[in-house]
Chain A
Amino acid sequence: MTVKTPTASRSNLLLTLTRYREFGIILIIIILAVIVTLRAPVFLTLGNFRDILLDISILVIVALAQTMVILTHGIDLSVGSVIGLVAMMVAFTIKANPTIPLVVVVLLGMALGAILGSFNGLIIAIGKVPPIIATLGTLSIYRGMIFLYSKGYWIPPFQLPDTFKLLSKGTFLGIPHIIIFAIVVAILVYYFLNYTRTGRDIYAVGSNPDAAQYVGIRKQRIIFLVYVLTGIAAGLAGVLWASRFESSQTNTALGFELQTVAASIVGGVSISGGVGTVPGVLLGALLLGMINNSVTLVRISPFWEQAAQGLLILIAVVSDILIMRRVQRNKSK
């Protein structure tokens, strides 16, 4: 049976676009960089770039995990609360035992995150509750637990040992630890999504759950897994957050979940599942970080920052829909 592929150059261009969504984001990043540099030359300095990376490191870690959830056509709205709860529990633990080794602290945070994430996973994979509802519930539950656990107190910087603060602030070969954490997570997620069967199964489940099941992929297991992984990432982020901001408060990472979703979607992850890459999300997070940074540099009202982020999300989603529609139309011809 001989079947020809569409050869029209126009449709090939569109297909290339769908394959390499990253180009569009790079283009926006370059344009933004040029404009901001013209107004504030300090933007294009190594020091400023380092500031941006410091600012987005935690976002990158959680956004990459959020991406895995969105790839399965889910969403995890509880990550901000998980970060806050883990940060609080870890901070209290360190305050009580200042000599506890940092490795144990990090592992403890990730373990706590895994427990909170697996609760999400259970409700969604076994209980079949829609992810947006389930995690909206745990968003409130976990946030409420922060208050219950801390009884409304917060951990100020002087109650945390310097070694813990160095966890994020220390440098290795001149690179701050927190950036190294983000790079390692990015490499791990990239390898996991592209070079393991489980990683590919995540794409398959999000793209066509029935098809995935027909070829023997255990759908519920994959869905459970992505929420656990997101919990672990948020747990790690909670430890880093407490270290970087040298404190833990009841409103730590409040609303952060929307940042992670924004980074994913601006980075080309499709909200309907199955589409998205690690480089794309990194660029998405970078773009958000740049906007944040340049708003301060150019001295625009911070209100514009939110509006700019919102606009980017809309552009990302609408261009996705338009490209999909064109691909479908070319096909039906």
Chain B
Amino acid sequence: MSEYVLELKNIAKRFGGVEVLHGVSFGLRPGEVHALLGENGAGKSTLIKVITGIHQPDGGEIFLNDKQVHFDDPLQARLAGIAAIYQELSLCPDLNVAENIFLGRQPTTVGGSINWRKLYSEADRLLTSLGVHLDLKAKARSLSIAQMQSVEIARAFSLNARILIMDEPTSSLTLKEVAELFGLVRRLRDEGTAIIFISHRLEELFEVADRVTVLRDGSYVDTRLVKDVTRDDLVRLMVGRTISNLFPKQDVKPGEIALKVEHLSLAGIFEDINFELHKGEILGMAGLVGAGRTDVARAIFGVVPPTSGTIQIEGRQVEIKSPQQAISLGLAYVPEDRQLHGLIPAMNITSNISLPILKEYARRGWLQDKAERSAAFSAARQMEVRANSIWQLARTLSGGNQQKVVLAKWLSTKPRILILDEPTRGIDVGTKAAVHALMSNLAAEGIAILMISSELPEVLGMSDRILVMHEGQMTALFSRAEATQEKIISAATQTIKTVRAL
């Protein structure tokens, strides 16, 4: 009897001709939270999909309680006690909470028809035992992300799952919801469930995981006890090199005021926002998801104009009514959701980059391809976009490369004020470092940058000053010297105004 409830030996997986997993081994003990760590494309998701029967391995063996198993489809894995909560939530939005829990195995009567009464009573019992209060008949569509996750966890436990896989469960949760989720994870672990936990936020691993296995480029690197490693160790294992300075903001002497915002309010969303942004400065905006930071950025960029307050750009008072006008005033806004707002997935890299400045390449309404192409090419090269050619469709790029294209696109407008909303969310460590270096260079060139970020180390490392928001209000403004994680978190969770003028 081995110590593992689940053991993978030398798992290999090919897609087409490309091998994406090269003999990965992995052991999961009962009652542990085991983090799976690696850059994007390291093979974590593929490995998970092999474990859950979505993909079948091309080599290697899987042992469940010392018995070799082979899953032909996800159902077999589920019946064997392996449940997974995927990054892209797998609920049916049009079905209700109770049915989503029992999807595909609704309780039936002797005659074989679905026993709805039993379905509702079991769903109720299950949610109550997890301490979750939800309307059983609410459509999944109407739930928040956190609520959807609790439905998925309930689904996992309706199967008496002994192995629970959580793929980036916290990426869309508020801090409070994350704390609640971790509480639940610890409780399940203490009851003997083995949990595989994937997250890009290293801090979370230290908070919740017992052991960590690192993958790199589809290969197994190492497994360590979390209490024995440091953050730097993990980063080194992931990238195979030390990133000496993860957040390399150069010191730039701030220039004159590029953007000044006074008493900016949007009724019902945020109120009385005041700050100055200097040339060469990076102003970080910290706060919880939903604090209203993105709304402030969108108001400044003219997407949803503010209801009161003033905006000054380079000393001139302006009323920005549309993004077009904002662009002509020298602003650029890189939104949070690349797929939704930042890129046109079905267009190629060149077209995406030249989109905001197409006019410049047109002569009497006709596009001058050559100029467009060479400008796009140099922009893509400057950003180190990794692609087969500049004709590759944006949709087919990795998340990090998409983000680089979005940045290249906005930089092509030669902005003087750059607003970045979660510039490194969901991209791998290497690309992250490249984006940080670029931001630092842009600031050194005199561009004023307003950066919204939910990652505290990024905020602390990159910002010259840090503005903290909570529930639509500005609760603090720190200089880089005085800011600490504790101060920011406390300002991000309190409503009392303690704005410090600088």
Contact = CB atoms under 8 A, between A and B. Distances in A.
A3 B147 contact: yes
B308 interface: no
B138 A15 contact: yes
Interface in B173-198: 177, 180-181, 183-184
A15 B139 contact: yes
Contacts of A4: 133
Given A196-B112, A207-B94, A5 B138 contact: yes
A255 interface: no
A92 B256 CA distance: 90
A215 B78 contact: yes
B103 interface: yes
> Main secondary structure on chain B at its contact with chain A?
loop
A274 B113 contact: no
Given A3-B133, A327-B142, A215 B103 contact: yes
A39 interface: no
Nearest to B111: A195
Contacts of A215: 74-75, 78, 90, 103-105, 155
Contact of A204 (B84, B95, B180, B181): B95
A194 B181 CA distance: 34
Contact of B114 (A2, A19, A197): A197
Nearest to A18: B139
B274 to A, nearest CB: 25
Given A195-B113, A196-B113, A331-B143, A274 B92 contact: yes
Interface of B: 52, 54, 73-76, 78, 84, 86, 88-95, 99, 103-106, 108, 112-114, 130-135, 137-139, 141-144, 146-147, 150, 155, 177, 180-181, 183-184
A275 B93 CA distance: 10
A195 B114 contact: yes
B75 A216 contact: yes
Contacts of B180: 1-2
B104 A216 contact: yes
Contact of B142 (A197, A200, A217, A330): A330
A208 B130 contact: no
A3 B92 contact: no
Contacts of B78: 215-216
Contacts of A196: 112-114
B181 A1 contact: yes
Contacts of B113: 191, 195-196
A5 B135 contact: yes
A213 B139 contact: no
Contacts, number: 121
A212 B103 CA distance: 8
B62 to A, nearest CB: 18
A257 B342 CA distance: 40
21 contacts: A1-B146, A5-B135, A15-B138, A15-B139, A196-B113, A197-B106, A200-B99, A204-B95, A207-B95, A210-B88, A211-B89, A212-B103, A215-B90, A215-B103, A215-B104, A215-B155, A216-B76, A217-B103, A327-B139, A331-B141, A331-B142
Contacts of B95: 200, 203-204, 207, 274
A76 interface: no
A15 B142 contact: yes
A302 interface: no
B188 to A, nearest CB: 11
Contact of B86 (A6, A19, A214): A214
Nearest to B148: A3
Contacts of A194: 114
A212 B92 contact: yes
Interface in A1-53: 1-6, 11, 15, 18-19
A3 to B, nearest CB: 5
A201 interface: yes
Contacts of B133: 2-5
A72 to B, nearest CB: 12
Contact of A210 (B90, B94, B142): B90
Contacts of A218: 73
Nearest to A7: B135
